[in-house]
Amino acid sequence: MKILATDLDRTLLPNGSWPPDSGAIDLFNELTARHEVVVVYVTGRNLRLTEDAIEEYGIRHPHVLIGDVGTSIRKYDQHGWVAHTGWDAHVRQASPEWDGDAIRFAVAGVEGLTEQEREHCGPFKQSYYVDHDSHETILEAVGERVKGRFDEVIVYSHDSRSGKGLLDLLPQSATKQTALEYIADEFGARREDVVFCGDSGNDVFPLTAGFSGVLVRNADDQLVASVRQAAADSPQLQVYFARGDFQGLNGYYTSGVIEGAYHYGVFSDPL
């Protein structure tokens, strides 16, 4: 059982400021099909924006979509997308204090915090735009109002392309990490047999949770530092930093995903 899980924006998708390899996405599609890999997308995008990415960049459909930063899970088969209702039930049971409306009320009025559009929020996701220059003060204010009251976790990331700070409040049981653990269990895969690739903020959890981690070459400095620290603290953590110069690929985005998959033996034959 080989599971290749990857973040989308600036990990599988070449939508940052580094140069992408032309043909890398076609290669990813071909390699994952040929090796019969279970492909999981783990993204902050909702279903509509994921479909936009599939259309725009030509990435294949995944077998499983962990969307909305881990708060929704869907499978894709010959009939299309199927919501994973078991996941919703699991989250409600595992995080009984979670209450998105109460959180919305609690943080209302924090300066520099703007609620995201309704399509970016959901039953298990309360999300905000944050003025990045004052994100530390804002995060502190949010923490004071919610911390420990709602079985919540507070995840901050910075979108280097738009310059926006993004704040997600999620149930502790419904993050990119826990959703991927749930899927690994469902497929009967050991943690180390799941390769997870990421580039920024909210990827730190799955990258330090015992999966076989890959940081694409364009990963944020902050993420690289956090993951290096975690690896120093826990020597059993498996992490690979894509560096390029691999079979003619430069290590950015999709190329880094392919490089990492080869590193862990998900793909084995020569390119």
Binding residues vs Mg ion (CB under 5 A) = 7, 9-11, 199-200
Least distance in angstroms from the C-beta of 147 to Mg ion = 26
**SS3 per residue for the chain:** CCEEEECCECCCECCCCCCCCCCHHHHHHHHHHHCCCEEEEECCCCHHHHHHHHHHHCCCCCCEEEEHHHCEEEEEECCEEEECHHHHHHHHHHCCCCCHHHHHHHHCCCCCEEECCHHHCECCEEEEEECHHHHHHHHHHHHHHHCCCCCEEEEEEECCCCCCEEEEEEECCCCHHHHHHHHHHHCCCCHHHEEEEECCHHHHHHHCCCCEEEECCCCCHHHHHHHHHHHHHCCCCEEEECCCCECCECCCCHHHHHHHHHHCCCCCCCC
Least distance in angstroms from the C-beta of 211 to Mg ion = 16
Smaller CB separation from Mg ion, 73 or 215: 215
Smaller CB separation from Mg ion, 11 or 126: 11
Least distance in angstroms from the C-beta of 69 to Mg ion = 11
Smaller CB separation from Mg ion, 6 or 95: 6
Least distance in angstroms from the C-beta of 45 to Mg ion = 10
Smaller CB separation from Mg ion, 7 or 152: 7
Q: Which residue is nearest to Mg ion (CB)?
A: 9
Smaller CB separation from Mg ion, 199 or 259: 199
Least distance in angstroms from the C-beta of 255 to Mg ion = 15
